Amino acid sequence: MASKTTRGEELQAWVKSAYRRSRDLTAGLTYREMMGPQLDTVNPMLWEMGHVAWFHEKWTRQVLRGLPPLRPDGDRLYDSFETHHATRWSIPLPSPEDTLAYVNEVLEGELAALAQSEPDERATFLHRLAVFHEDMHIEAYTYTRQTLGYPAPLITDVPKAHEPPAAGPWPGDVPVEGREKFWLGARPAEPFVFDNEQWAHPVRVAPFSIARAPVTNEQFLEFVEAGGYDQEQHWSLAGWNWRHRVGAGQPLHWRREGPGRWAMRRFNQWVPLAPHQPVMFVNWFEAEAWCRWAGRRLPTEAEWELAASPPEPQTSNPSPSNSPLTNPPGQLAPRNTYPWGNTPPTVATANLNHQAGWAVDVAAHPEGDSPHGCRQMIGNVWEWTADAFYPFPGFVTGPYREYSAPWFGYRKVLKGGCWATAPRTIRTGWRNFYLPDRRDVLAGFRTCPL
d(CA 59, CA 66): 10
7-148: CATH topology: Four Helix Bundle (Hemerythrin (Met), subunit A) (1.20.120)
> According to the model, what pLDDT value does residue 321 have?
44
Q: Could you state, in order of their start, the residue ranges of all structural domains in the chain? A: 7-148, 159-450
d(CA 206, CA 312): 17
Report pLDDT digits (tens) over 48-58: 999 999 999 99
Q: Are 360 and 275 in contact (CB under 8 A)?
A: no
Residue-wise over 257-293: b if at least 16 C-beta within 10 A, else e?
A: eeeeebbbeebeeeeebbebbbbbbbbbbbbbbbbbb
Question: Does the N-terminal peptide bond of residue 340 adopt cis geometry, omega within 30 degrees of 0?
Answer: no
Please choose, from the candidates 137, 148, 178, 401, the residue with its C-alpha nearest in 3D space to the C-alpha of residue 268. Answer: 148
Q: Are 308 and 377 in contact (CB under 8 A)?
A: yes
- For residue 16, what pLDDT band results from cuts at 50, 70 and 90? very high
265 — phi, psi (to 5°)?
Answer: -85, 125
Please choose, from the candidates 49, 15, 21, the residue with its C-alpha nearest in 3D space to the C-alpha of residue 131. Answer: 15
d(CA 43, CA 234): 33
* More confident: 113 or 329: 113
d(CA 215, CA 375): 12
Report the percentage of the chain scoring pLDDT > 90. Answer: 89
Please choose, from the candidates 438, 442, 389, the residue with its C-alpha nearest in 3D space to the C-alpha of residue 417. Answer: 442
d(CA 198, CA 185): 6
* More confident: 102 or 260: 102
* More confident: 448 or 319: 448
Report pLDDT digits (tens) over 359-410: 999 999 999 999 999 999 999 999 999 999 999 998 999 999 999 999 999 8
> Does residue 318 register a pLDDT over 60?
no
**What's the start-to-end Cα distance of the chain, in Å?**
55
Report pLDDT digits (tens) over 66-109: 999 999 999 999 999 999 999 999 999 999 999 999 999 999 99
> According to the model, what pLDDT value does residue 336 have?
81
- For residue 317, what pLDDT band results from cuts at 50, 70 and 90? very low
Kindly report the CATH number that applies to the domain delimited by 159-450. 3.90.1580.10
Which three-class secondary structure string do you get for the chain?
CCCCCCHHHHHHHHHHHHHHHHHHHHCCCCHHHHHCCCCCCCCCHHHHHHHHHHHHHHHHHHHHHCCCCCCCCHHHHHCCCCCCHHHCCCCCCCCHHHHHHHHHHHHHHHHHHHHHCCCCHHHHHHHHHHHHHHHHHHHHHHHHHHHHCCCCCCCCCCCCCCCCCCCCCCCCEEEECCEEEEEECCCCCCCCCCHHHCCCEEEEECCEEEECCCCEHHHHHHHHHCCHHHCHHHCCHHHHHHHHHHCCCCCCCEEEEECCEEEEEECCEEEECCCCCECCCCCHHHHHHHHHHHCEECCCHHHHHHHHCCCCCCCCCCCCCCCCCCCCCCCCCCCCCECCECCCCCCCCCCCCCCCCCCCCCCCCHHHCCCCCCCCCCCCCEEEEEEECCCCCCCCCCCCCCCCHHHCCCCEEEECCCCCCCCCCCCCCCCEEECCCCCCCCEECCCEEC
